[in-house]
Structure 1
Amino acid sequence: MNSQLHELIGLVLRHAEWAYAAVFLAAFLEAIPLLGSLIPGSTIIVALAALVPGGGLQLTPVLAAAVIGAILGDGLGYWIGHTKQRAVLSAWPMSGYPVLIAQSEALFDRYGAFAVIFARFIAPVRAIVPMIAGVLGMPPWRFFPLNVIAILFWAPAHVLPGVLAGSAAEQWGMKIEHYGLPLAGGIIAVGCIGWAVYHWRNRSLA
């Protein structure tokens, strides 16, 4: 097992671009309507960021990958809502999530355009609000600046905890070969458990 861990950590160290691509995809897919509620993208980002202090990854590319992925994912969701309008809400698969749509629209009723910022930090509606913004007719010149501002806060809020966890492990005298995958795997496992509990509760209440 130890040799396998060393090999996998070595793979990340030799091919860091794969890890950066994983951060990008996690941020991008988490922002896609419905996919965002199925993929624990934030957890993956935190886990991979834990490899930064040990030199496995660099902080700036990790942040850039998270920001770019989230902007493109949110932009795609907004474009779908902007072009399809309310027809997209009654079509499959969105038609199967009336509660999530209602929660997203309630955010706009309460906060107006600033719902774009607040929703970035609310996992259940994060992937839906950009599309709802397009459906409700928010103009691009208003949506994208607010969206980018939110993402510029969201990305460090997810990357830095992982960096701090990795840094703490380094200070305890652990090297990346020893803590990298166990720490990343633990973070992913906790995130997946939380994701499963959340969806189980939603189904129980439905």
Structure 2
Amino acid sequence: MTTFLDPLITFVSAHAWLAYLTLFVAAFLEAVPVAGSLVPGSTIIVAMGALIPGGELKLWPVLAAAAAGALLGDGSAYWIGHRRQREILAAWPLSGYPRVVEQSEAFFHRWGILAVFFARFVPPFRAFVPLTAGALDMPPARFYSVNIPAVLLWAPVHVLPGVLAVSALHEYGGLPYHHHHAGKHIWMLTVIAGAVVVALATWIIRRRRGVIEPAAK
């Protein structure tokens, strides 16, 4: 049965390494200020995730490529901001996006250390808050203590929807499987990701009832 995925499946089957590289670059660029608002990184990641149930791509390398790109992108933005301090927020090309820069700074001041976590899931803040955190002198240990868990949750949250959608087509829509071994890992990761989201939401609600930690000065 021919599907709209067939041309992509054919290409990726012959060039899997290029697909993983594309995932890495998409996740990296999505974290870069300005570029992150232009590159459809999330769309690319979801689309590549859709190729996992058929076996064209492997689950763990997809997650690793997405997470590595996001960590490198966030880290690069943070260290640029940390080195240049506030002057970077008024420099080109950020000077062309004063509203987003202002909103990102307000977002950071409102949520403090949690802004780094939330921003990973909220465009366009995803591409601006790490830079803002560095520019406002958040200590590296504090930044990475939140950024790394955020990225490790963000990767499966972005990859698994495409996986589950195509798995449903395989199961109920007559789309043939090429490989079956990924299924149990996919559902296990979905349950784990869901449990982590619930735990984090509960912690955030409790945290909001107290005092939010202010951004480091």
TM-score, normalised via structure 1 length: 0.81
C-alpha distance in 1 between matches for 2:166 and 2:28: 24
CA distance in structure 1 between the partners assigned to 2:151 and 2:75 by the alignment: 12
Q: Which amino acid aligns with 2:128?
A: I
Matches of 1:72 and 1:87 in 2, distance apart? 22
Q: How does 1:171-182 map to 2 (within 5 A)?
A: 171=171, 172-175=173-176
CA distance in 2, matches of 1:9, 1:85: 45
Is contact 1:31–1:127 with CA below 8 Å preserved after alignment? yes
Aligned to 1:139: 139
Percent identical across equivalent pairs? 59
Match of 1:195 in 2: none
Determine the structure 2 residue equivalent to 1:59: 59
Task: Provide TM-score, normalisation by structure 2.
Answer: 0.77
In 1, the alpha carbon distance for the partners of 2:34 and 2:149 equals 23
Cα distance in 2, alignment partners of residues 6 and 109 from structure 1: 47
Task: Tell me by how many angstroms 1:9 deviates.
Answer: 2.2
Q: What amino acid is the match of 1:34?
A: V
* 2:74 corresponds to: 74
State the Cα RMSD in Å: 1.9
- How many aligned residue pairs are there? 176
Q: How does 1:100-115 map to 2 (within 5 A)?
A: 100-115=100-115
Structure 2 residues not aligned, in runs of 5+: 179-217
Contact 1:116 / 1:129 at 8 angstroms: preserved in 2? yes
Counterpart mapping for 1:8-157 below 5 A: 8-157=8-157
User: What runs of 5+ residues in structure 1 fail to find an aligned partner?
Assistant: 178-206
Paired with 1:70 and 1:158, the residues of 2 have a C-alpha distance of 12
Partner of 2:164: 164
The answer on whether the counterparts of 1:19 and 1:48 sit within 8 Å (CA) in structure 2 is yes
CA deviation after TM superposition for structure 1 residue 108, in Å: 1.7
Tell me the alpha carbon deviations over residues 116-135 of structure 1, each in whole angstroms, 9 at most, x when there is no partner. 00111111111000000000
The 10-residue stretch of structure 1 (8-17 or 138-147) with the greater mean CA deviation from structure 2: 8-17
Q: Residues 121 and 33 (structure 1 numbering): CA distance in 2 closer, same or farther, change over 3 Å? A: same
In the alignment, the residues of structure 1 paired with residue 27 and residue 5 of structure 2 have an alpha-carbon distance, to the nearest angstrom, of 26
Q: Could you say which structure has the higher helix fraction?
A: 1
Deviation of 1:97 after TM superposition, in Å, equals: 0.9
CA distance in 2, matches of 1:122, 1:56: 29
Provide the C-alpha distance between the structure 1 equivalents of 2:6 and 2:138, rounded to a whole number of angstroms. 50
Instruction: Give the letter for the 1:35 counterpart.
Output: A
> Is contact 2:9–2:51 with CA below 8 Å preserved after alignment?
no
* Displacement of 1:175: 3.4
By how many angstroms is 1:31 displaced? 0.4
- Specify whether residues 132 and 60 from structure 1 end up closer, same or farther in structure 2 by C-alpha distance, changes over 3 A only: same
> Does the 8 A contact of 2:104 with 2:129 survive in 1?
yes
Q: Which moved more, 1:5-14 or 1:60-69?
A: 5-14
Q: How far apart in 2 are the matches of 1:63 and 1:134? A: 26
Counterpart Cα distance in 2 of 1:141 and 1:8? 41
- Residue 123 of structure 1: SS of its match in structure 2? coil
